[in-house]
Amino acid sequence: MFSTRGLRFATNVSEIPTFSGFAGLVNWYTGHMDKALRDIEKKIEQVNVVIEVRDARIPFSSVNPSFEQIFKNKKRLILYNKADLANTNIEQFIVRDILKAFTGPHPPTILFVSATQGRNINKIIPAAIDLGRQRKQIIETNITTDDTTTKNTKTQKKAVKPIIMMAVGVPNAGKSSLVNALRRKYVTNKATSVAKVEAKAGLTRHLSCFQVSESPLAYLIDTPGVMVPQIEDVEHGLRLALTGGIKESLVDDETLSHYLLYRLNNSNPQPYMEFLRVDSKIDDLETLKNAIETRLGVKQSAFHIFVKLYREGKFGRFTLDQLE
């Protein structure tokens, strides 16, 4: 576990915590993620459109460089999920920065969505189909037919090639919630299984596929969440952990609370001050702990509660990544 214990912190959390030298301990790349990435690479030639789910609270930190390499020649629809928890005023600037940094032959289509509130869910498959239409749709197949009066002859039959979509993303960006929303909308067989959804990272372990359109014929392949193989920057790891993208046991709640309080104090402390009913911003963890215990009537797990409140949006729409 990455912990504050034994580290030298600034007493006043208005200063950035000193985490240098501990970046490796924030990484989380498991065997099933490595296998999933290999499975994705094996199937990518069949895929026409990649639907990549990112976290709107960390629009840049939830980019997986492995995907950038694998999907560089593919048409891509980028979905920034959990947009209801992020700052909507900077969405246009996120799009600007993403497109500016993009180097592939097919600039992505970008949508800000919310699986929990239904924002733009109806636009996902139509947008992916529009991207998928831009390829050869007809396959010619040789069919041998029997004719009782003549020798066997060959005829040509034209078949429509289905659009194959693939949903990918880092853990806990809300991909499973979006996939389930699409299943409910497009799958008529109620016995069809749905992706497991919990507030924990890394629950989808296998690839699955279902139909999302009859005309044109289109299928969506769901895949497990795959974390960045190597997180070099400590703050990058903390942002992923704070939004639930890294296994919770790897970074303790005190560390996350320290970092969150630092970021809130340097951005907009008013929402958490109003929630905790304090008159000024809090500059140390002991005062934060006491404020949470007083406000909510709890005697333990104050830091865990502080992180949970942020993830639930109780401190307003807050984007952790900063624009260029």
How would you write the pLDDT of the chain (324 residues) with one tens digit per residue? Answer: 444 443 334 445 555 555 443 444 566 777 888 898 999 999 999 999 999 999 999 999 999 999 988 999 999 999 999 999 999 999 999 999 999 998 888 999 999 999 999 999 999 999 999 999 875 554 444 434 444 444 454 445 556 789 999 999 999 999 999 999 999 998 876 444 444 434 444 444 457 889 999 999 999 999 999 988 888 788 898 999 999 998 888 889 999 999 999 999 999 999 999 999 999 999 999 999 999 999 999 988 999 999 999 999 999 999 999 887
Report angle CA 174, 310, 10 to the nearest 5 degrees: 125
Please tell me the pTM assigned to this model. Answer: 0.82
Strand partners, 142: 156
Lookup: tokens for 109: 């289509």
From CA 133, how far away is CA 184, in angstroms rounded? Answer: 24
Q: How many helices (H) and strands (E) does the chain have?
A: 10, 8
From CA 304, how far away is CA 282, in angstroms rounded? Answer: 17
| Residues 6+ away with beta carbon under 8 Å from 229 | 29, 65, 66
**What per-residue confidence (pLDDT) applies to 275?**
97
* Sequential DSSP letters for 274-288: HHHT-SS---SHHHH
| Among 87, 84, 92, 90, CA closest to 113 | 84
**What per-residue confidence (pLDDT) applies to 14?**
57
Residue 140 φ/ψ region, left for φ over 0, alpha for ψ in the -120 to 50 degree band, beta for the rest: beta
**What per-residue confidence (pLDDT) applies to 133?**
86
φ and ψ of 288, to 5 deg: -60, -45
CA atoms within 13 A on the CB side of 190: 0
